[in-house]
Amino acid sequence: MLSTFSTTLSDTKMLSSVLALVAILPAFVAAQGAVWSQCGGQGWTGATTCVAGATCTVSSQYYSQCLPNSSGGTTTTVVTTTTGPTTTASAPTGSQTPAAGNPFTGHNIYLTPFYAAEVAAAAANITDATTKAKALSVANIPTFTWFDTVAKVPSLGTYLAAASAQGKSSGTPSLVQIIVYDLPDRDCAASASNGEFSIANNGQANYFNYIDQLVAQIKQFPDVRVVAIIEPDSLANLVTNLSVAKCANAQTTYLACVTYAIQQLNTLGNVYSYLDAGHAGWLGWPANLSPAAQLFASLYKNAGSPSFVRGLATNVANYNALSAASPDPITQGNSNYDEIHYIDALGPALTSAGFPAHFIVDQGRSGVQNIRQAWGDWCNVKGAGFGIRPTTNTGFTAIDAIVWAKPGGECDGTSNSSAARFDFHCALADADQPAPEAGTWFQEFFTTLVTKANPPL
């Protein structure tokens, strides 16, 4: 029983809109979805048309979104925006040298308006004044934006343009945090596949096109630094789940796709990448450490040791402590019972295998410990609180930054056992229920994250 973490990430991707909240209010409110709001998908009962200037665009069978006309909105859109800087002293040429040291330093992290709007709507639905004020403060804490479908890529251009403008007006350059998450046959060890691409149906070419579109957006804004987490779950699945036929079948494609992603992003000169490395309760088991180090290091070296691949990201969307006061009983048998023990064990193994990796660690929902019944429980863990704030003052030289990779409040998965995407983890005794569809806003869960935040908000 290590981790069945896989499905949580597929569930993270659907950044459902705050307007979905509004849409369950009186019907007349929901006549047309605002820009970025959900406008369709399996089980969706809200508005299916969008306000003027936006078009309802299918992302997957589960999710359609109102995308602004100006930013494209089909999977084949060629980037045509002209908002990028026309004169820049330091336009990347493809043979850049990374800035020395920690890529997070010297930059202001951009706050995505999407999450800020979700949080604002959530706070508006909290009556207790103290809790409401705390909830509102969450809008000022940076999270990562998940680009889990190609249809969402144009919104990256919108964010980068805003981040570029902020950087120019403030005098401190901006940093935008993204998660690259659209592999074909994604979540190969999960019971249900949720990705939009399949290997059997041109998945690798579709993925390369997805990466090309990300690259085209970022290329317009060389003054904005981007930090990317690459493909949560995928490489960890290749370490521990090759006995699953779908993972064995996906192995070559995953490696080709991740290699393409890091190589293409590396040409830009402003994108620092961290490969997802699961968490302590997955690859941190002593038997998995060496195979994990070998896989990451060989992928890195085979890709040409890309200089902007800064290292690995751990605990993405999970609940582990960075440094536990004492081992949670559920970690029994694993000396690497928290993320720092895991990193301290994996880091030297990577270095000796030829990959001198630095780390970032998700602590967004890790504020409260000892609340799970099993280490593999990942779905809407009951009693979770927001954790350590994003910071570069991590206390550990191996760790560049504490980050919030999973936007807290977006649901991990539904507890409705009749729903198409039901996963049993979301109905376990330690899962907060009733939980709505994955990716949609989970108000009660968010409120608990706020009230149990540690350190307090």
Ligand X SMILES: *[C@@H]1O[C@H](CO)[C@@H](O)[C@H](O)[C@H]1NC(C)=O
Residue 341, annotated ligand binder?
no
Q: How far is the CB of 436 from ligand X (least distance, A)?
A: 8
Q: For residue 391, give Cα distances in angstroms to 35, 51, 315, 367.
A: 31, 38, 16, 15
Pick the closer one to ligand X by CB: 350 or 435. 435
Q: How far is the CB of 77 from ligand X (least distance, A)?
A: 13
Pick the closer one to ligand X by CB: 174 or 448. 448
Instruction: Give one DSSP letter per residue of 339-366, joined into a string.
Output: HHHHHHHHHHHHHHTT---EEEEE-TT-
Q: How far is the CB of 439 from ligand X (least distance, A)?
A: 15
Pick the closer one to ligand X by CB: 3 or 145. 3
Residue 282, annotated ligand binder?
yes
Q: Which residues are catalytic?
A: 233, 412
CA distance 159 to 90: 20
Pick the closer one to ligand X by CB: 120 or 303. 120
Please choose, from the candidates 312, 252, 249, the residue with its C-alpha nearest in 3D space to the C-alpha of residue 279.
Answer: 312
CA distance 106 to 110: 13
Is 212 exposed, middle or buried, given 0-12, 13-18 or 19+ CB atoms closer than 10 A?
Answer: middle
Please choose, from the candidates 378, 404, 380, 402, the residue with its C-alpha nearest in 3D space to the C-alpha of residue 392.
Answer: 402
Q: How far is the CB of 299 from ligand X (least distance, A)?
A: 19
- Binding residues for ligand X, rule: CB under 6 A, are 2-4, 21, 25, 43, 52-53, 55, 69, 125, 189, 240-241, 244, 282, 416, 418-419, 443-444
Three-state secondary-structure class, residue 158: helix
CA distance 357 to 343: 10
Residue 194, annotated ligand binder?
no
Residue 318, annotated ligand binder?
yes
Helix axis angle, 153-170 relative to 113-124, nearest 10°? 90
List, in sequence order, the alpha helices (H) in 138-244: 153-170, 203-219, 234-240
Three-state secondary-structure class, residue 326: coil
Pick the closer one to ligand X by CB: 69 or 93. 69
Residue 36, annotated ligand binder?
no
Q: How far is the CB of 239 from ligand X (least distance, A)?
A: 8
Residue 302, annotated ligand binder?
no
Is 93 exposed, middle or buried, given 0-12, 13-18 or 19+ CB atoms closer than 10 A?
Answer: exposed
Residues placed in the known binding site: 146, 148, 279, 282, 318, 378, 406, 410
Q: Specify binding-site residues for substrate.
A: 146, 148, 279, 282, 318, 378, 406, 410
